[in-house]
Amino acid sequence: SISDIEQIVNEMIGDVNASHTGFYPRAQKVKPRPPRAYLGLEFDYSQVLEEGIPIKVVYPQSRLADYYHIQNGDILLAIDGTLITPYSSLDKLLAGKAGKLIKLLILKEGQKIEAELNGLTWSEQRKLYYDYKTEQSKKMVKELTQDRIGYVHIPAMGNTDYENFRREVFRDNADKEALIIDVRGNSGGHIHDKLISMLNQRYYAYSTSRRYSGKLNPEPRGIWAKPTILLVDEHSFSDGEIFPTVYQELKLGKIVGQPTSGSVIGTWEFRLLDGSSMRLPGSGWYRLDGTNMEGNGVQPDIVVENKPEDIIAGKDAQLLRAIEEILKELN
């Protein structure tokens, strides 16, 4: 079958040991699996109850939090009338219900509450999770630095990501003394040069305008000339690695985290006669000393691992170290 061919070809491509490559088989007429629905929350699987399952985290922008005011620690008792026991399969109860109305029974402060929502897709759940985690990081930085330091996460390297970065920097952090830039988990793209240009320029003059009370404004506009520190990890990918590589080459600041994977190569897609396609290497990226970025990830100045027990406890050791280092630089 085409699936067998896919496995064999990808095994062969694996011998090339190059990123961004792969064989993508033509579409087959197979019965799709019913998409699992999500609820905008996380469960606490460390507790086993006779009835229901505890809710560990409710994402603040979810319907359950915003409309029903469900909180961490409340208990989900039933899904569409089916009571939840230690033997219940939540995947089965939520299978095929993405985009469909789901009725929940939740125990909140001793009272049973009936809630209704449309089942979320994986992408919608992921967006709620991302917003929640990012806000947690911003809150931590604000509290531990007395609001002196800004924090911005860049999830990918597209034009929209660049515009979002600029907006967050100059709308939310223009008054900050320094900036923590986080590219952990960055999936890549093509905006490294825009980011570097924004961080590498320096002010050269001041201008004034009678329309704006004659205040001295540094020129050029739209750059960040204050201290920065960069976070990377093993999930920073592609252009999410080129950016920290150049950041390090230009000595713009320290890098904290885990070494990146070294997945930096340009590939081109080739369409095959049967409708399948392949991505094959077409261009490379190299440091100024000639080192190939492919296979040679960014080595942080300060290596910090987020250990499994830290992740479970909600502790971000890498971000904590970045805060410590940038405060030392300021002080």
Sequence-ordered alpha helix ranges (H) in 214-277: 239-249
pLDDT (0 to 100) of residue 313: 87
Q: What is the spatial distance between Cα 217 and Cα 189, in angstroms, rounded to a whole number?
A: 33
Whether residue 218 is preceded by a cis peptide bond, meaning omega within 30 degrees of 0, is no
Q: CATH classification of 124-262+297-330 is 3.40.640.10, yes or no? A: no
Q: What is the spatial distance between Cα 233 and Cα 315, in angstroms, rounded to a whole number?
A: 15
Q: What is the spatial distance between Cα 220 and Cα 58, in angstroms, rounded to a whole number?
A: 43
Q: What is the spatial distance between Cα 28 and Cα 26, in angstroms, rounded to a whole number?
A: 6
Closest CA to 252 of 271, 279, 223, 230: 230
Range list of β-strands (E), 47-194? 53-58, 75-79, 82-83, 101-108, 111-118, 149-153, 178-182
pLDDT (0 to 100) of residue 267: 87
Query: What is the reported pTM?
Result: 0.91
Closest CA to 80 of 72, 66, 90, 68: 90
Q: What is the spatial distance between Cα 179 and Cα 203, in angstroms, rounded to a whole number?
A: 17
pLDDT (0 to 100) of residue 15: 86
The CATH class of 41-120 is mainly beta
Contact 261/12 with Cβ under 8 angstroms? no
pLDDT (0 to 100) of residue 243: 98
Q: Each residue's pLDDT tens digit in the chain (331 positions)?
A: 888 889 999 999 888 888 999 999 988 777 777 889 999 999 999 889 999 999 999 999 999 999 999 999 999 999 999 999 999 999 999 999 999 999 999 999 999 999 999 999 999 999 999 999 999 999 999 999 999 999 999 999 999 999 999 999 999 999 999 999 999 999 999 999 999 999 999 999 999 988 777 788 899 999 999 999 999 999 999 999 999 999 999 999 999 999 999 999 988 899 999 899 999 888 999 999 999 999 999 999 999 999 999 988 889 999 999 999 999 999 9
Task: State the CB neighbour count (10 A cutoff) for residue 42.
Answer: 16
Closest CA to 261 of 144, 163, 183, 177: 183
Per domain, the residue ranges of the chain are 41-120, 124-262+297-330
Residue 153 identity (one-letter amino acid)? H
